[in-house]
Amino acid sequence: MNPLQLKLARSSIAVATASFLLGFTVSAIAQSDASKRMDDMPGMGANMSDPTSKGGASNKVAPTSPSKELTEKNNPRSTAAPMDLGQVQGMPGMKGGSSDMKDMPGMNMGSMPGMGPMQGGTPPPDARNPDAHAEGMPKMAMPGMDMADDERFGRILVNELEYAKGRDARGQNLNVEAWYGGDYNKLWIKAEGERRAGRLDAFRTEALWDHAIATFWSTQLGLRHDNGGGGRSRSWLAFGVQGLAPYWFETEATAYVGSGGALAARLELRYDLLLTQKWILQPKLEANFYSKSDPQRGIGSGLSDMELGVRLRYEVTRQLAPFIGVTWSKKFGNTAAYARQAGERVRDTQIVAGVRLWF
């Protein structure tokens, strides 16, 4: 080891020794100050370490503050022995661990002035009248403040009042519905028909009892009557559901039971696509099914016919909206065969223009 390294080592040893001695000294001074502060606190003097000593047996410095003697004089230490559970249970009102405080001397609430029984009993003569500030109005239901779920409302909605022009024919179409009732039960009337070449081609009327079963959904039960088209009229018992399907599709699905065990079904879907707050595009799909053929009315069994239409309306107001559109229709199965025999088209495209309104 060269002389320089030797000097550095000696210096390091000296610094470490000095740091150790300084730390030890500071720690001893701090411990002495803490002991002195504890001795100055009332009840924390030398007798804490030696309870048998009477004054001079302790090696601690006696406190200079007179607060200890004053504290012992004002708050003498209790010489009573600790109480066990048996002694506590033997106290009046504390038998068996009971919380009955009325047996304890001075703890009977009824004996305290102005402090009668806490529960039960008749009210005192000067008790406050709960109706004192009601101005003579008794407790009763407040008119106009109950839920208005039993009110009756009505509406007439003309979905389609339009002029239609196809390749070989032109005429008018009507689709209207009306209802009256409350939130849960309504009378619902539906009517849909076509007029061609100055005569009623087909007309369907339904009278239904509408009953709400879920949010946006209701069941419908009633009667359906078909007339027009040159054939005999028919009546059906109707049962179906109507509501708002997911993604805001207006849905009508109805089954029918006719005379002679004939069955039918009808499905209608609508969707309002808001291009703007005023311009609304509405696609519509309608399909009809029958279990038996009816040659007099030109209806075949199975899927009878289907129609797809698109109408663009402009809402001048919410109650009045003119529209234009186009519809595609097709007949299937025996219904198409009956149409060919009558010289009618199986497929047809029509341009429509009309108005939608409600009031």
Phi, psi for residue 16 in degrees, rounded to 5: -60, -40
For residue range 217-228, what is the model confidence (pLDDT) as tens digits?
Answer: 999 999 999 998
**Band (118; pLDDT cuts 50, 70, 90):** low
Q: Over 70: is that where the pLDDT of 165 sits?
A: yes
Computed over every residue of the chain, the mean pLDDT equals 80
pLDDT at 88 over 50: no
One-letter identity of residue 160: E
> CB 315: neighbour CB atoms within 10 A?
17
pLDDT for res 198:
83
Q: Is the predicted pLDDT of residue 146 greater than 50, yes or no? A: yes
Quote the pLDDT of residue 49: 42
Give residue-wise pLDDT tens across range 37-56.
Answer: 665 655 554 444 444 444 44
Q: What is the pLDDT of residue 27?
A: 66
Task: Give the residue, 55 or 312, on which the prediction is more confident.
Answer: 312
Per-residue pLDDT, 167: 86
Given pLDDT bands bounded at 50, 70 and 90, which one contains residue 16?
low
Which of 269 and 101 is assigned the larger pLDDT? 269
Longest Cα–Cα distance of the chain, Å, equals 136
CB-CB contact of 332 with 304 (8 Å): yes
Q: Percent of the chain having pLDDT more than 70?
A: 64
pLDDT(249) > 80:
yes
Band of pLDDT at residue 7, cut at 50, 70 and 90:
low
Instruction: Please say whether the beta carbons of 352 and 311 come within 8 A.
Output: yes
pLDDT digits (tens, 9 = 90+) for 120-131: 678 777 777 777
Place of tokens 């309002």: 272
Average pLDDT over residues 228-245: 91
Does position 29 have pLDDT exceeding 60, yes or no?
A: yes
pLDDT of 134 strictly over 50: yes
Asked whether the predicted pLDDT for residue 102 surpasses 80, the reply is: no
Residue type, 292: K
For the ranges 92-96, 163-167, 308-312, the maximum mean pLDDT occurs at: 308-312
Do residues 165 and 348 lie in contact, with contact meaning Cβ atoms separated by under 8 Å?
no
pLDDT for 296 equals 87
Q: Please write down the HEC assignment for all residues of the chain.
A: CCHHHHHHHHHHHHHHHHHHHHHHHHHHHHHHHHHHHHHHCCCCCHHHCCCCCCCCCCCCCCCCCCHHHHHHHHCCCCCCCCCCHHHHHCCCCCHHHCCCHHHCCCCCHHHCCCCCCCCCCCCCCCCCCCCCCCCCCCCCCCCCCCCCCCCCEEEEEEEEEEEEECCCCEEEEEEEEEEEECCCEEEEEEEEEEEECCEEEEEEEEEEEEEEEECCEEEEEEEEEEECCCCCCEEEEEEEEEEEECCCEEEEEEEEEEHHHCEEEEEEEECCEECCCCEEEEEEEEEEEECCCEHHHCECCEEEEEEEEEEEEECCCCCEEEEEEEEEEEECHHHHHHHHHCCCCCEEEEEEEEEEEEC
| More confident site: 189 or 89 | 189
For residue 144, which amino acid is it? G
Q: What is the pLDDT of residue 58?
A: 43
- Assigned token pair, 322: 């003119």
Provide, rounded to the nearest whole percent, the portion of the chain with pLDDT above 90. 50
Domains within the chain, CATH numbers bracketed: 153-358 (2.40.160.40)
> Mean pLDDT, to the nearest integer, of 154-180?
94
